[in-house]
């Protein structure tokens, strides 16, 4: 399964300006990452917390399910989006989020399919 995740993330990173990507459970456990210069387990947990918090906040205002969460820093952005009921996809990028959104969405759907086949 590791090779399937590696291919998915490598394909994603080959198509858009992404420094690194993460596949994470909704509980915040790291499934797979291409990054080795960050504390991946901490990043995974915080990404899941961000997405979960956004989902609760949107639910409070009857706003529906968030399409993506974007955290913009001075030099980089974190983008996280759900990939089904059990996982999420998070990336670190310097790109314009709107320019990479479609490929991220496509990768998240593919991840959801991969994980549902695994069950």
Question: Domains in the chain, please, with CATH?
Answer: 2-118 (3.30.450.30)
d(CA 78, CA 38): 13
Quick one: average pLDDT of 87-102? 95
d(CA 81, CA 38): 20
- Hey, how many other C-beta atoms are within 10 angstroms of the C-beta on 29? 12
Q: Give the confidence band of 53 by pLDDT, cuts at 50, 70, 90.
A: very high
d(CA 105, CA 108): 5
Quick one: average pLDDT of 30-54? 96
Dihedral-angle region of residue 32 (phi above 0 means left; psi in -120 to 50 means alpha; beta otherwise): beta
Contacts of 61 (CB under 8 A, 6+ apart): none
> Is residue 15's pLDDT more than 90?
no
- Please state the pTM of the whole predicted model: 0.93
């Amino acid at each position: 399964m590791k090779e399937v995740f590696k291919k998915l993330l490598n394909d994603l990173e080959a198509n858009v300006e992404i420094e690194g990507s993460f596949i994470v459970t909704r509980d915040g456990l790291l499934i797979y990452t291409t990054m080795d210069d960050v504390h991946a387990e901490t990043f995974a947990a915080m990404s899941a917390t961000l997405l979960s918090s956004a989902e609760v906040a949107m639910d409070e205002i009857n706003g529906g399910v968030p399409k993506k969460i974007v955290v913009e820093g001075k030099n980089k952005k974190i983008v996280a989006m759900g990939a089904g009921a059990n996982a999420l996809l998070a990336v670190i990028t310097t790109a314009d989020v709107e320019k990479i959104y479609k490929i991220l969405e496509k990768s998240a759907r593919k991840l959801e399919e991969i994980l549902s086949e695994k069950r």
